[in-house]
Amino acid sequence: MIHDTRVTPLNDRPDNVGRYVLYWMQAAQRSRSNHALELAIRRANAMALPVVVVFGLTETYPDANARHYRFMLDGLKEVAADLSSRGIAFIIRFGSPDEVAIELAGDAAFLVADRNDLRLPRKWRLGVAKAVSCPMVEVETDVIVPVDVVSHKHETQARTLRPRLHRQLADYLQPMADTDPEVRADGLRGLPPSTVDLTDTVRVVAGLPIDATVKPVRRLAPGRQAGLKQLDAFIAGPLQGYGSGRNEPAAFRVSFLSPYLHFGQISALEVALAVQADRRSNEEDRKAYLEELIVRRELTFNFVRHHPDNYDSLDCLPGWARKTLADHRSDPRDPCYDIPTLEVAETHDPYWNAAMREMIHTGFMHNYMRMYWGKKILEWMKTPEEAFGATLHLNNKYFLDGRDPNSYGNVLWIYGLHDRAWTERPIFGKTRYMAASGLERKFDIKAYVRAVDRLVAAETN
DNA sequence: ATCGGCTCGCGCAA
DNA sequence: TGCGCGAAGCCGAT
């Protein structure tokens, strides 16, 4: 089922004569459980046309490096195989994604894109809508409930978003059938060929002018099949007891699904449905995970939607947070670190260093440690602006799930976004403070340090 | 071990 | 207008 509310027209071109329906894949890099692809297939069937899927591979996506590209391209390899087995053409070409889409849209009767509110893909999409002569729509398939259905404004706290979201959930938490096209694309002639050879993604990545020092990781295998396998493993294991055990860093009672969600290799909808249907877990465990997957995740999508120009800036913090950080701007920092010191994980704090090493070497970090890690950077750098810039930079460079709406919302949480004021103290002002003593009091944090040693060894041996 | 205070702004009840 | 309450906080008092 595809609700009309997922679909937004991006231009008002009249019906167009064309040879196929085109789906320009951007964020939703999957061939199943994808409302945008599904809409394209249904349109094509209604018009008795084949479906073409196009992907433009830019060499210069901000912050992207070998780690991200390998994960993405290995995922796209599976997309290509599955689409082709269903009679859907898949074309992947080097170039700016908007230009690649415009090139293919020349022969399209109808153009579908998947929605993503981050600046660059959004700018590309709006430019394409103007440039093409066929009708174009965007489909929201990254979220369970379309952002504008939940609320028309920025919800400043989870507790204001939560009831609005829950009111819509019964309606939107519905499985989506995957339709096959009735007209195969095999007969299409004269399409621009793929210029990216997905049979050898190692070579493709080696040929790109990107940072190769951030290497692919072994910890998380790329692609939809790996993502679905991880989902099964999560439900069978860590979900059991998730409610009470999710914050213990050494236990890694986490889903590890965020990289797959970030690249769109699996959908939040199918994850939510699978978790909801599980009967081995108790209700508390399922509720705790669904709160994170749905409420907390879609809170950041709401945030980005309503701060299109400054979601990556401290300007969009609530007034109390901006004021209190400014009041403490010149508080002395001791210690005071620069990015190179942080990036080699050589601070005085062994817990922080462990978190940083987990991030650098495995592309991932335990949820709870992400908060501690970010709070300490605020504490240890000269100004909040410098700390924020460094945190976002490291986040987007090393995490497989970086450069996501979640990244911006959650990094800003460190600085008070979606949070509240607490006791005033140096540097932090009234933003929430976190201390190493808290880790020692509540967790077996030394076990986390040892666990990271093992994880790093497994990546580098 | 547990509890209250810290502190702001939103939404709702009245 | 008043009141309750909030992602993971800390800290000191009991």
pLDDT tens digit sequence for A229-246? 999 999 999 999 999 999
One-letter amino acid for residue A63 of the chain = D
Q: Is the CB of A432 under 7 A from strand C?
A: yes
Which nucleotide has its C1' atom closest to residue A419's CA?
C6
Supply the pTM of this predicted model: 0.98
CA A384 to chain centre: 25
Q: Which of A147, A117, A116, A111 is nearest to A129 (CA)?
A: A111
Which 291-330 positions of A have CB less than 7 A from strand B?
A: 318-320
- In order, the DSSP letters of A60-109 are --TT-BHHHHHHHHHHHHHHHHHHHHTT-EEEEEES-HHHHHHHHHTTEE
**Length of chain A, in residues:** 461
Whole-angstrom distance, CA of residue A55 vs CA of residue A307: 27
Residue A1 has pLDDT above 90, yes or no: no
Neighbour count for residue A122 (Cβ, 10 Å) = 17
Average predicted confidence (pLDDT) for chain A:
97
Query: What is the per-residue pLDDT for A407?
Result: 97
Residue A408 has pLDDT above 90, yes or no: yes
Which 128-167 positions of A have CB less than 7 A from strand B?
A: 155-157, 160, 163
Which 17-36 positions of A have CB less than 7 A from strand B?
A: none
Residue A147 has pLDDT above 90, yes or no: yes
Tally of helices (H runs) and strands (E runs) in chain A: 21, 6
Q: Is the CB of A371 under 7 A from strand C?
A: yes
The predicted-structure confidence for A251-302, as pLDDT tens digits, reads as follows 999 999 999 999 999 999 999 999 999 999 999 999 999 999 999 999 999 9
